[in-house]
Structure 1
Amino acid sequence: MSTGHAICGLDHTIIAVDDLGAGEAMLTSLGFAVTPRGIHSAHKGTANATSVFSNGTYLELLGVTAPTEFNAAMREALAARRNLFGIAMKTEDAAAAYEAFAAEGIGAETMNAFSRPVELPGGTREASFRTTNIAHRTTPGAHVFVCEHLTPDVVWRPDFLDQPNAVAGIKRIIGVADDLDTIAAKWGKIAPGGAKASPSRVDLDFDNATVTFMTPQAFATEFGTPTAAPPALAAIEFVSHDLTATRAVLEKAGVPHPASLVVPPECAAGVTMRFVAA
């Protein structure tokens, strides 16, 4: 398996929060259907809640329940206000992805297998995964890993796919970086089509979504919102099948300038959000 075949598109993105309850409340106010909270194993020391989308992507809120070695990087990111902490890419085989990344010098870390209980209308089931982390030196600005879902039906719950804000999925994740040449050279190793660079941005296409890095100046011009110190992820772009419904939800939530369809980080768990037509 080559690196290009090891990654099958975007799976989900992770928003790290200091207060999981406050994060859940923010997402709910923005019209996201938030699943019941899941508790991870003791060695992880984390808990999560998700919003799952019809295009096969999802959004994960992740909070620390107890400091552990496993969540040290996330706690560091929170201290630096890098709330848009990570990106999970889809893979059909996390073990094969590990071998492919190692063979091509990507810097694969040990493969992990884990599960978490999910309360469903018919009773509790385990959501099970296998993941392989990609070394941070390959993806500056973000924690990136590939995720193999062993129980996708437990994650993409049919009773939570209908989003009140009309969101159908994640289209783009946007970061900021001063050195776009380094971003293009390193991230380009994991993007199936390589990096598409211009003076103010780098685009990396992953089948169903795009990761974009901009200069801080370009980001400020396009979004008008603050970011963490670069390199860092900063914004999520969602596709909506009804922007009128989306705008109405943002207006009801008291988002400044809802007509712009841009939500500033103070209203969205530390992350800038933008909504565009599907």
Structure 2
Amino acid sequence: METLDHIVVNTLTGMDDAAALFEGLGFTLTPRGHHSLGSVNHLMMTPGAYLELVGVPPTGLQRADVLDSPLGLNGLVLRSGDADETFDTLARRGLSPSAPVSFSRPVTVDGRRSEARFRTVRVPAGLFPAGRVYFCQHLTPDLVWREEWMDHPNGFDGFGVLTVTSPDPAAQVARYEGLCGGTAAASGSGWRLGTDGCEIDLVPGGGDAFAKIGVTFRDLDALRSRALALDGVEWRDETPDRASLWIPSLRLHLECGRRP
């Protein structure tokens, strides 16, 4: 079973508004990063996987795979311990990976400027039409997982279920099994399979999409009070320990739950 590294929300050129909204919801955002490939980001860290807002600057170098991707929930990123080994593993599984790509972004920690460095391995977009799917090797994890970025006023602490819709989910099950290194189980009208960090539900739908992501919190009280006081979001309580949060400006559906 592979390990979840992070989930990506694409803001396109709207990073300023998206960052302000997530801060208003009580997430702690890392300082804005500027990737060498031509993208910008903020992270919302946990000790395990993290949530990423990614976008492109309004002018200058703009990362094509971000600019050409839909707004909203658009990235499933699994963790690689060694990008070259990941490439070989994915090739054996028949997923036709691209050669590893290296990139970086400046990070200032304790007043000192450093470079956070990464290597990624991607699979062809046509194999996973719901969104961008790739593996990420962190060469400098100490510049990403830092204690000062993991304390969220709303209690954010991880992920639940990523729901993936497809007109023909049966045709995609084997690809997701190859991606995640596990076996899917029938679940309702679809299939469920796991990563270390979140589960994936592959279900029938009108189009290929990452439809929603489960996000977990120590409790929902802090998030609820912030969401109800904030313009631009729609909050609906479903049970005492579960709620739906819709962000129209990002076409983003979060299923919010209390960590058991």
**Match among 168, 181, 191 for residue 192 of structure 1:** 181
Pick from 217, 230, 237 the counterpart of residue 253 of structure 1. Answer: 230
Confirm whether residue 27 of structure 1 aligns to residue 16 of structure 2: no
- Return closer, same or farther for 1:199/1:243 CA change in 2, 3 Å cut-off: closer
- Is the CA contact 1:74–1:85 (under 8 Å) kept in the aligned structure 2? no
Matched-pair identity in %: 29
Shift of 1:109: 0.5
Q: C-alpha separation between the residues in 2 aligned to 1:120 and 1:242?
A: 30
1:13 and 2:2 are equivalent in the alignment: no
Residue 92 of structure 1 deviates from its aligned partner by 1.0
Q: Unaligned regions of 5+ residues in structure 2, if any? A: none
What's the offset of the Cα at 1:199? 4.9
Task: State how far apart, in whole Å, the 1-side matches of 2:108 and 2:160 are.
Answer: 28
Does 137-146 or 194-203 show the bigger shift? 194-203
Shift, 1:214, TM fit: 2.4
Matched residue SS, 1:100: helix
2:40 to 47, 58, 69: 47
- Per the normalisation by structure 2, the TM-score is 0.89
Aligned residue among 220, 240, 243 for 2:220 = 243
* 1:30-88 Cα deviation digits (max 9, x unpaired): 211111111111xx22111111113x1111111112576x833332323xx4x212111
- Match of 2:257, as an amino acid? V
Q: Which runs of 5+ in 1 are unaligned?
A: 217-228
Q: Root-mean-square deviation (CA), in Å? A: 2.0
Give a deviation string over 1:99-149, Cα, whole Å, max 9, x none.
Answer: 111233211101012211112233222111111112223323121111111
Q: Match of 1:259, SS?
A: strand
Q: For residue 163 of structure 1, what is the amino acid of its counterpart?
A: H
Pairwise CA distance, 1:183: 2.2
Contact kept in structure 1, 2:39 and 2:66, CA below 8 Å: no
Partner of 1:37: 32
The whole-number CA distance in structure 2 between the counterparts of 1:257 and 1:47 is: 28
Distance in structure 2 (CA, Å) of the matches to 1:262 and 1:67:
37
Greater fraction of residues in strand: 2
Instruction: State the alpha-carbon separation in 2 of the partners of residues 253 and 173 from structure 1.
Output: 25
Q: What is residue 275 of structure 1 aligned with on the other side? A: 256
Count how many residue pairs are aligned between Structure 1 and Structure 2.
Answer: 252
Structure with the bigger percentage of helix: 1
Matches of 1:277 and 1:197, distance apart in 2: 26
Runs of 4+ deviating beyond 6 Å: none
- Contact 1:107–1:138, Cα closer than 8 Å, also in 2: no
